[in-house]
Structure 1
Amino acid sequence: MTTTKITRPTGIAFEQHPLRGPFNAAFFRLMDPYIDLNLRSRKRRVYAGLPHEVVEIGPGVGANLRYLSPGSTLVAIEPNRSMHEQLQEAARRHGVELDLRERMAEQTGLPDGSADCVISSLVLCSVRDPAVVLAEIRRILRPGGAFRFLEHVVAPSGTATRAVQRILRRPWAWTFEGCSCERDLEREIRSAGFASVTVDRYRIHTPFLPFNTHIAGIARA
């Protein structure tokens, strides 16, 4: 039987929007099988051999719990309360102990050097300041620990995808709670001071054109 520990917020506040929050929780639960189908092969490589305890930045409704071994513990940094019920359900379904912390990624509240592994997927696009979040990830990772990530990123200049990203940036950001499809997250991660960074650039093919350019990789502290 799995259990959930919940830590309530302190520090930076998250806007609990009455419409966008529930919409995004329902959207990502509905789309989870489709998104996972497109990202599964990359996630299996990047998340291979995860340790017994993992910190996840923005786990949402629990899309990555399937990549943790039953009996593992997920320290979930998730400020959006609309995601919590489904995240807890997913943890029970996958047999994962959940330490749910209603905190912003900029201030996890975790001690220095306390994590062997931090993961994220489709999260750095929506944080307020990726550089601050990446600095926080480095702070909580022990020396040699790994940040394992999959993120969607800005498309190359002059491409049709880049033009669509530019046109749709405002409605996209409003709908998906601040998500930007124009961030060069590879540059942000490489500039964040990790000891080593490996990145794989790739493209998926979905009707959500602004979402189709991606990176996956591992950054070591």
Structure 2
Amino acid sequence: MAEVVVLFLTLCVQLLALPIYVLSYLGIWEPFCKKKFFPFFLEKFTVDYNQKMLRQKQDLFRNMMEFADPSGKLTVLEIGTGTGSNFQFFPPNCRVICTDPNPHFQERLAKSMVQNKHLEYGQFITTSGEALSQVPDASVDVVVSTLVLCSVKNVEAVLREVCRVLKSGGAFYFLEHVTADHSSWSFFWQRIYSPTWKLLFDGCYLTRETWADIEKASFSEIKLQHIHVPLQWTPIQPHIIGYAVK
């Protein structure tokens, strides 16, 4: 009976979003989403998200300088940089390499760079997290991923690339929304929203157990917490936060 209810409500949500499904079928939605809708949405969303997550982000990135090289220089690679919403939390004078598969973020990213002159910036690389071939092996001290692993095509492949580019003893910092407890109402609604959510928000999955992928990756130490983020009326409240050391 529960499965029937889930299916019925899923179809109701899809019916409400029917115009977007039609545009997707015609090949119109995805280009529009990548170029216009998603960059605009993410810029607005991350302002609210950073306000709600200010303390958690400050605490997460507080110890980044512990992973600097012996000369005190810190090189950070951010996967899925988007609008640059994490820049304000990075330590002064670190060098940031920005990557994102969507080139249409660059205008908003440039604005964030101007607002965060305490950092040095490398080249923007248009690539996915699974394909970081332009970044040499063992060349960065820290890799950062926030609200990114939900939408990559292959989490395991991304984490392999993270381990490849990290120096020995380097750290991977993450803050990701994940699936809710399977006995909860949150998971019930995640299942209902999932197909339409993925279409609306550029391939974002609601029910990934990302912590399991991190635990299976080649890290020597993992500090990971499950938290509940105060994002009312959204299905992305369950999060994981922490860092893993190579």
Match of 1:104 in 2: 128
Match of 2:90 in 1: 68
Alignment of 1:176-195 (within 5 A): 176-195=201-220
CA distance in 2, matches of 1:92, 1:72: 15
CA distance in 2, matches of 1:38, 1:73: 26
Alignment of 1:28-47 (within 5 A): 28-47=42-61
Match of 2:196 in 1: 171
Q: Select the structure that is richer in helix.
A: 2
- Percent identity of the aligned residues? 30
- Range that drifts further, 129-138 or 17-26: 17-26
Size of the aligned set, in residue pairs, is: 206
Query: Which consecutive unaligned segments of at least 5 residues does structure 1 have?
Result: 1-15
Query: C-alpha deviations, 1:63-82, integer Å up to 9, x for none?
Result: 10111234432101111012
Query: Which consecutive unaligned segments of at least 5 residues does structure 2 have?
Result: 1-28, 66-73
Q: Does residue 1:124 correspond to 2:149, yes or no? A: yes
Matched letter for residue 32 of structure 2: L
CA distance in 2, matches of 1:32, 1:103: 21
Q: Pick the structure with greater CA Rg.
A: 2
- 2:100 aligns with one of 78, 99, 108: 78
Match of 1:218 in 2: 243
DSSP 3-state at the match of 1:216? strand
Query: C-alpha deviations, 1:25-45, integer Å up to 9, x for none?
Result: 111111222101222211111
Match of 1:202 in 2: 227
Contact 1:149/1:217 (CA < 8 Å) preserved in 2? Answer: yes
CA distance in 1, matches of 2:76, 2:226: 24
**So what's the TM-score if we normalise by structure 2?**
0.80
Q: 1:196 to 1:69 in 2, by over 3 A?
A: closer
Query: C-alpha deviations, 1:141-174, integer Å up to 9, x for none?
Result: 1111000110000000111100110000011001
DSSP 3-state at the match of 2:31? coil
Contact 1:164/1:209 (CA < 8 Å) preserved in 2? Answer: no
CA distance in 2, matches of 1:174, 1:97: 35
Q: CA RMSD in A?
A: 1.5
